Amino acid sequence: MLQDIPTPILRESRGCVLETERLTLRKPTLADVKAIAHLANDRRIAENTRRLPHPYLSEHAVEFVRATAGGGGETVFLIENSSAPIGMVGINWREVDAPELGYWLGVEHWGQGFGTEAARAVIDYFFEEFDDDYLFSGARVANPSSRNILEKCGFQWTGVELHRFEALGSSTPVDCFRLSRSVWSSLKSWGSSMRRRGTYSP
């Protein structure tokens, strides 16, 4: 989903916690490595997430958390439900003019609306904190659940592209989507998330 690539502009989520009706979104720490590795080590997740390897080991989680701690090219949140990690969501700034929303949930947490709830919180954060007019995302053509999340959040389909998926070792068709600031503004009735400032302490 997310990759540590520096950009000219510091895009930072440190000290920011987003809260929704059921979820808390916060920066991951090394204390979360075991939970992240457990959740991500499922081929069904890796096959639908471009940059997740499979198998996903603790070493991968350590590398990921350390990369996010330095800021760089991504804004990342660990998703918690009832204080238990259930997945990740964030924005990849790999393309300066095309910030991309990405997310994944542990398989046992699929089908409960958590993906949409977490995505909306990060979308609100993005448009409220940054000046960009567009947010982009994508979903495998073979992954209708992810497409449904994007459509519920107001994303509009822009076409199909081939993207390489690390776990597949090949490229596969991806539905591409774009959300404009104007569409987001018209949809804000979905309810805003709350935001706490300050340093997170596990």
Within a 10 A sphere around the Cβ of 165, how many other Cβ atoms? 19
Per-residue pLDDT, 71: 63
**Does residue 200 carry a pLDDT above 90?**
no
Closest C-alpha among 118, 129, 178 to residue 11:
129
Q: Please state, rounded to an integer, the average pLDDT across all residues of the chain.
A: 88
Strand 23-26 and strand 16-19: the pairing is antiparallel
Whether pTM exceeds 0.75 = yes
**pLDDT, tens digit, 9 for 90 and up, residues 138-190:** 999 999 999 999 999 999 999 999 999 999 999 999 999 999 999 999 988 66
Does 11 score more than 60 pLDDT? no
Amino acid at 20: T
User: Which of 153, 148, 143 lies closest to 178 in space, CA to CA?
Assistant: 153
Look at strands 134-140 and 156-165 and give their pairing. unpaired
The percentage of residues in the chain with a pLDDT greater than 90, rounded to a whole number, is 77
Say if residues 88 and 13 touch (Cβ distance below 8 Å). no
Q: What is the pLDDT of residue 69?
A: 82
Pairing of strands 74-81, 84-92: antiparallel
Q: At residue 172, what are phi and psi to the nearest 5 degrees?
A: -145, 155
Q: What is the pLDDT of residues 47-70, one digit of tens each?
A: 999 999 999 999 999 999 998 887
φ and ψ at 91, to 5 degrees?
A: -125, 130
